[in-house]
Structure 1
């Protein structure tokens, strides 16, 4: 190739800039500086370049556009004379003012009335709507103490991970998850949940919600379109399974846990349950029910075990995971949402061998694998002992807050019954009252306190009640929140 052709090619490549998609070919001959000033002025006016933003260095922009530096310098000078930009020495050329242009801003949408946020039959977006509603005290269940997130430990682990990462480690990873985290999860489950599992059996997911979606896809491929669920049981889980095309027949829960005879009567081939600390009642699946459930599974059933908060126990010994008893008939899901923070979106799934390939294929199709860097940092926290230290800290703090909530309920709601206090991050309170719990939740939110009605988690009629989270609140906030709920209840009783 001749030198002339190389120069021509280079000129065509540098005829434009990624900055504002400027195309110098559109500028009139002899008027490039004025054209560039007009383009910059328009971008400042419509907000594409914000006040306070730094413009590209004149040398850099000139090279991008394939013009002399003087063209860019003159354009910047024109804007400076108008008061739009100012030179800041080594800080570069900074936008200091935008031209006054009339803007018509839409009026902010009015926040939904509390009553509208607590329908008797909530839609699939109800949790997003309630989460966005402002509240002085938030007693929503399932939220850990986010203020206790171990920032220093996380940063230390992140630095450790980044120091030893090779360049190749920044590429696409294994859709099953980073081998380091899969090994750390296997060791964590062996120590804390009595589950013997090989790292190769662990699939890392974006939380339990993705784990359920992956399992649902694998089960549909096996001709299963019904997953029985606990009654009462998590509305969020039920909605998620419904979104994946699964019917969710209810199975009654009593003081001993899931009624296996009711499960058999549904004819379902799979069941979703929370045996270590049932949501929302807090009961533990007892020994006789476990044996009967194992027999049901051995006859061809699949148990999906959501071990959502099993590490958070206070007044009772640990409950063994069902997966430890029957690995080839139990799909086991867990995450760090209740240990660290839901925002991390890291969980894990142990899948019976007959479904593992289908689950991994669904994971690959979904996202090619969970973000690797958070996986490696979490693995470092697990292997260094930092996560277990965090768990011990949280247990001590949660016990104090649980005790504060139980005491506050005793003072302000003396007729209420408290369930599930021995473990977890929430209490269930049932009421001997004719008041609808959705109305009570709405009345509490009107007074600045956010709670969750028990009826949301029921497919059948049930006593009214509230599901109250305590982990993320101080004792003072808990006292104020329960007192406010009691005041709302008194007002509803006297209507």
Structure 2
């Protein structure tokens, strides 16, 4: 009889011959948590074939464990581990779970419910059918060639990045890009990296984990204070030029030129994190500063803010003298980013699906931003929104003297995740909240603002 491979299930129970041995090992697997409640077991015929024993041996073991309550058998559903039997696994800690917020206003989270599932599935199918047999092997550590070509075209068209496919390296999200740069800079003799103040601590922590000293440089309404870079010994700086995180200011053209002059004089490097520049509403697009000097600027981007962080797709556009070193470091780390997601993303770029999704989400995010601003104007007119022209978040400047960390705690007790600006600053700044609006509907945003108003009164 031909095996039915659509229902065949494998179970690792090595070296068992008798009924009692099979029975004991199955019982132990359930108790240890190796077989979780609801797990469907192989048929008695399949397991007998796998173990090389008589089918009656497995049938008897299953019957005994069903009688003891470890397993349950239903006609048409096979034999499964019963949900009624659960034993704590003393050898394994339970995974830490994130809190369930009533209103999650973290910055940087896109509308994950708007992910273009149908287009992505079609892109995956089309891309997979187009892949050659050889392309299913280990990937090019620099990235899937077709994706590097599409990214070079897209970045040149939308962000004015001056690049060729050979200068694009695909990474597992922006985090891996920062990590690769940190190790390569450290190996090249860099001792520290200048960063904006305030800024996201994630990138700074990652750079520091590779032995680089973090040098905070203040930001004003024209961007990073380039004149203060001369007070540090750093030869590299990380900036969010198009939309500073979290304050939302654009790096002024004079500061851009001054920053590049600094890099040339120091034999230094500018790392341009273009994390959400495609999302803009009330101002024209600002091209990437990388085009002003591709030999001194590393351009970094990702799909996390446009599509979803779960894809883990990012890219670096590198100066020629860094490209080979980064690619070799990437090869030694993980042999390259997975080809299947890269190929699907390339298909989405090539067919215009990425552009269409951007147009849809720009309209969606503008409506959500406007709903948030209208609600704030009605409920909390003394709170000043900052950086509202682009991005996925706003900063709310609170009245002077407000303790933003205490307010964050009061909001958390009400089920509202609203990070304080103090979380992004190493030195004192004005009190504020950093609120992401992309993931919540207008009605939910209005409800969240009412919670903000009620929590702003510290009286019990």
After TM superposition, the score normalised by the length of structure 1 is 0.84
Q: Alpha carbons of 1:152 and 1:37: their partners in 2 closer, same or farther (altered >3 Å)?
A: same
Task: Classify 1:78/1:445 alpha carbon distance in 2 versus 1 (closer, same or farther; 3 Å).
Answer: closer
Match of 1:391 among 358, 369, 388: 358
Q: Report the more deviating stretch, 435-444 or 74-83.
A: 74-83
Offset at 1:140?
0.8
Aligned residues: 450
1:94 is matched with which residue: 79, 92, 107?
Answer: 79
Structure-1 residue corresponding to 2:206 = 240
User: Structure 1 residue 139 and structure 2 residue 124: aligned?
Assistant: no
Higher percent of residues as helix: 1
With over 3 angstroms needed to count, the CA separation of the structure-2 counterparts of 1:102 and 1:63, relative to structure 1, is: closer
Structure 1: distance between partners of 2:83 and 2:384:
61
Distance 1:63 1:248, change over 3 A: same
SS in 2 for 1:294: helix
Distance in 1 between residues matched to 2:430 and 2:143, nearest whole Å: 43
SS in 2 for 1:387: helix
Q: Is the 8 A contact 2:152 2:165 kept in 1?
A: yes
Question: Cα deviations across residues 127-171 of structure 1 (Å, max 9, x unaligned)?
Answer: x99x92222111111111111000011111111122222333222
- Which of 372, 378, 385 aligns to 2:345? It is 378
The answer to whether the aligner puts 1:333 opposite 2:300 as a matched pair is: yes
2:13·2:25 contact (CA, 8 Å) conserved in 1? no
Which structure 1 segments of 5+ residues have no match? Answer: 1-16, 110-127
Matches within 5 A, 1:67-82: 67-76=53-62, 78-79=64-65
C-alpha RMSD of matched pairs (Å): 2.7
Spell out the pairing of 1:55-204 with structure 2 (5 A cutoff). 55-76=41-62, 78-79=64-65, 91=77, 93-95=78-80, 97=82, 132-204=98-170
Given candidates 40, 57, 65, the residue that maps to 2:26 is 40
- Cα distance in 2, alignment partners of residues 47 and 18 from structure 1: 17
Candidates 443, 446, 452, aligned match of 1:476:
443
Of stretches 238-247 and 327-336 in structure 1, the one that deviates more from structure 2 is: 238-247
How far is 1:77 from its partner? 5.0
Partner of 2:4: none
CA contact (8 A) 1:45 1:98 kept: no
Deviation of 1:97 (Å): 4.6
- Measure, in 2, the Cα distance between the counterparts of 1:246 and 1:230: 15
CA shift for structure 1 position 309: 0.5
Verify the 8 A CA contact 1:62 1:69 in the aligned structure 2: yes
| TM-superposed deviation, 1:448 | 1.6
CA distance in 2, matches of 1:102, 1:161: 45
2:272 partner SS:
strand
Gaps of 5+ in 2: 1-8
1:360 to partner: Cα distance: 1.4
Q: Give yes or no for contact 1:185–1:199 (8 Å, CA) kept in 2.
A: yes
Contact kept, 8 Å, 2:37 with 2:85, in 1: the verdict is: no
